Structure 1
């Protein structure tokens, strides 16, 4: 199995909407790191699992959407607590919609909200 990973970082804001989260209920920033891991059994005719330039372009477009944004204000988070669990699923779904994933077994997005905490979602 082949695996390709691309990583980016950005700053975004949110506030948790569930009760009793202490300071997390207040608007605050995170320096997020997002890792995109793509897995598949076969390479294409160029020897790529997927063209890394395509992955970087799709990742850059998503980072541009979320960088310096307040997640709570975005339509994809409407009615949701903007946890990193929801964020990783939303990010992964949007990414897979932009990529040619025909030969991929899995696409995993892992989002770190600090040096010790992350959540991931695999499609």
Structure 2
């Protein structure tokens, strides 16, 4: 399986509901380094996985309404614990939609999957792997 990874970041604020979150139940900030990995079994006719420039642009676009926001106030996340794992899934689905509607260009047609990893720090990360059909 071949892959291309692009990277961006988001700075957000949010809070959680539930005792399992301890002090993170209070409003707090987080900065995530976001990696998006695009995978395919075979290289395309130009010997690439995906157009790296378009992948970078579309990752940035998928993150645009999240960065510098309080996710507690974001209409898409009303009543939801916006855990790192959950956010990885949201971003992966947003990227998959961009693949399907052609915003990653014709090189994205043969993609098999996308994995999004959010790095909370140098020692902790969470991710979501999505298969494209």
RMSD of equivalent CA atoms: 1.5
Please give the per-residue CA displacement for 1:23-72, whole angstroms capped at 9, x wherever unaligned.
20111111111110111112222222111111111111122211101122
**Normalised TM-score (structure 1):** 0.90
Structure 1 residue 91: deviation in Å? 0.8
Structure 1 stretches (4+) deviating beyond 4 angstroms?
none
Q: Secondary structure of the equivalent of 1:121?
A: strand
5+ residue gaps, structure 2, are: 103-107
Look up the SS of the partner of 1:66 in the other structure. Answer: coil
Aligned residue for 2:31? 31
TM-superposed CA distance for 1:119, in Å, is: 1.1
Match of 1:52 in 2: 52
1:20: Cα distance to partner?
Answer: 5.2
Q: Which residue of 1 aligns with 2:116?
A: 109
Q: Secondary structure at the match of 1:97?
A: helix
2: distance between equivalents of 1:6 and 1:102? Answer: 18
Normalised by the size of structure 2, how large is the TM-score?
0.84
Residue 94 of structure 1 and its aligned partner are, at CA, apart by: 0.7
Distance 2:79 2:48 in 1: 39
Q: Indicate the residue corresponding to 2:129 in structure 1.
A: 122
Structure 1 CA distance for aligned equivalents of residues 65 and 52 of structure 2: 20
